[in-house]
Structure 1
């Protein structure tokens, strides 16, 4: 149909052949094949040139529309491949939102203003299946699942987020700048984590220090845990990124020997094709992690 469009546009087979880079014979064969398929004549001779029949006009109009759509598709594809347009679906957990995701989204909008970012909180379930099955382009996760690299997902480490000791303001250890983890062995503990990799990081550090914490309250929420500590019910550990708002009646101290930490990583689909916007977002997350770590230090 694009050959017919060229013939109608130039008014002759010879001129159309020159425009398309074909021989006049090849153009005539293409028109003959199209007429056979259409079941009617598409061109009629007028002097030394040709003009379209009613059927030829109809098909030429459709050919024009197809050419415009193809050009639009090519432009849209070029924009997508260059990162000027597109969509990123991101899964994240709450304490990573303000410190990591928010500045990364702002950076992405500056670099790729035409890319839409869908943000979805994934606190209550494992986001790795969404990444593996293509429902999400990226997820922020805690820990290093052993099956991730073998199950279609690759992990890029962003940072280690250290846990801090949160004590009642009048606690004897609150007068110190840092606390050995083993010094909290005999204390009642307030739980601050859901069962999972964050709690596992706490328990592994306590085990390395030679004890298992005795939990007297399960809060599974950082703000609520601080409230219980402020009331004198026990001590707790909260990661640095989770201490956005500190209760006025608690003291926060660094831990040592060992220093518990949770590893925060970016999960990506192992087979995902390169995407400029996705690469920019990952780099923006790295910059946010470095900025946060530097500010914390």
Structure 2
């Protein structure tokens, strides 16, 4: 196998026209240059240089290998530039999985900001479904996963969770509801109301149920939708009240009013999951920074 370093030495000799000139340019001794060319000739199995007075000139084989040395040198320079861009976060690819209600208010503006500030970074987006995305993260098929997760949840091997923001819930009410005139509603005031369930079992629903328990009641769920848009439609029809996270602003229905809830304030913790054990790439760091710069609703 031909040695790349020796090919570059051969090219220096061919371009300069002499061993001594190439040695000066490379910072080697003439004997070291001659030795390297001799080894390359043995690897090639044929002469690469021939003497012409005080200098040398390339044989056909020497010109052939010198040309390839130039191409290799250009490719190495391009590789170094590409690697520097990747290291600095100017290029790269980030594969992201996110939950639906984070799409319009969080993911879209963050990705738009990343594209403005790092146009060479490609982002591949996908919704999380019924399948747990964390194994995909551990296997390296996904780089970033947005999750709703309790801060007291158990660690997941191979996954690092970073708190991104707390997403508060508002109460959705029909406009004619007596509490709709109030800017702030105490959670306990909703204890006797019929409730519309707006999300499936999991950490989002747990955040609502835990807040209600802290206020001294369990909600009377009369219809379960497991979807914010559908839940707001049920509220608009007068079937009950619902709690909706602020980040789901794109799901809101103009036929309902949203009011702040306090005492306690129901919140869900939005976290970023990345692979544990290795530092995130600069492209991943840039995306997480873009998530943090999205204004809270």
Global fold match (TM > 0.5) = yes
Match of 1:244, SS? helix
Paired position in structure 1 for 2:103: 97
Match of 1:242, SS? helix
2:80 is the alignment partner of 1:74:
yes
Paired position in structure 2 for 1:113: 119
Shift of 1:60: 1.5
2:227 aligned to which of 197, 221, 228? 221
Match of 2:43, SS? helix
Aligned mates of 1:174, 1:39 — CA distance in 2: 90
Paired position in structure 2 for 1:209: 215
Aligned mates of 1:98, 1:248 — CA distance in 2: 17
Paired position in structure 2 for 1:4: 10
Contact 1:94 1:123 in 2 (8 A): no
Contact 2:105 2:250 in 1 (8 A): no
Q: How has the CA–CA distance of structure 1 residues 207 and 37 changed in structure 2, closer, same or farther, with 3 Å as cutoff?
A: same
Aligned mates of 1:109, 1:242 — CA distance in 2: 23
Paired position in structure 2 for 1:234: 240
Match of 1:75, SS? helix
Paired position in structure 2 for 1:46: 52
Paired position in structure 2 for 1:170: 176
Q: How has the CA–CA distance of structure 1 residues 249 and 65 changed in structure 2, closer, same or farther, with 3 Å as cutoff?
A: closer
Greater CA drift, 173-182 or 26-35: 173-182
Shift of 1:25: 0.9
Match of 1:279, SS? helix
Shift of 1:201: 0.6
Cα deviations across residues 77-127 of structure 1 (Å, max 9, x unaligned)? 112112222222222222222222222222222221222222222254433
Aligned mates of 2:252, 2:147 — CA distance in 1: 24
1:187 aligned to which of 185, 188, 193? 193
Q: How has the CA–CA distance of structure 1 residues 274 and 15 changed in structure 2, closer, same or farther, with 3 Å as cutoff?
A: farther
Paired position in structure 1 for 2:4: none
Contact 1:198 1:262 in 2 (8 A): yes
Shift of 1:249: 3.7
Cα deviations across residues 165-184 of structure 1 (Å, max 9, x unaligned)? 12233333334333222232
Q: How has the CA–CA distance of structure 1 residues 247 and 63 changed in structure 2, closer, same or farther, with 3 Å as cutoff?
A: closer
Using the size of structure 2 for normalisation, the TM-score is 0.89
Match of 2:226, SS? coil
Aligned mates of 1:249, 1:274 — CA distance in 2: 44
Structure 2, unaligned runs of 5 or more: 1-6
Shift of 1:209: 2.0
Greater CA drift, 277-286 or 240-249: 240-249
Match of 1:151, SS? coil
Aligned mates of 2:136, 2:69 — CA distance in 1: 41
Cα root mean square deviation, aligned: 2.0
Structure 1, unaligned runs of 5 or more: none
Shift of 1:55: 1.7
Deviation beyond 6 Å, 4+ runs, structure 1: none
Match of 2:274, SS? strand
Shift of 1:192: 0.4
Aligned mates of 1:204, 1:193 — CA distance in 2: 14
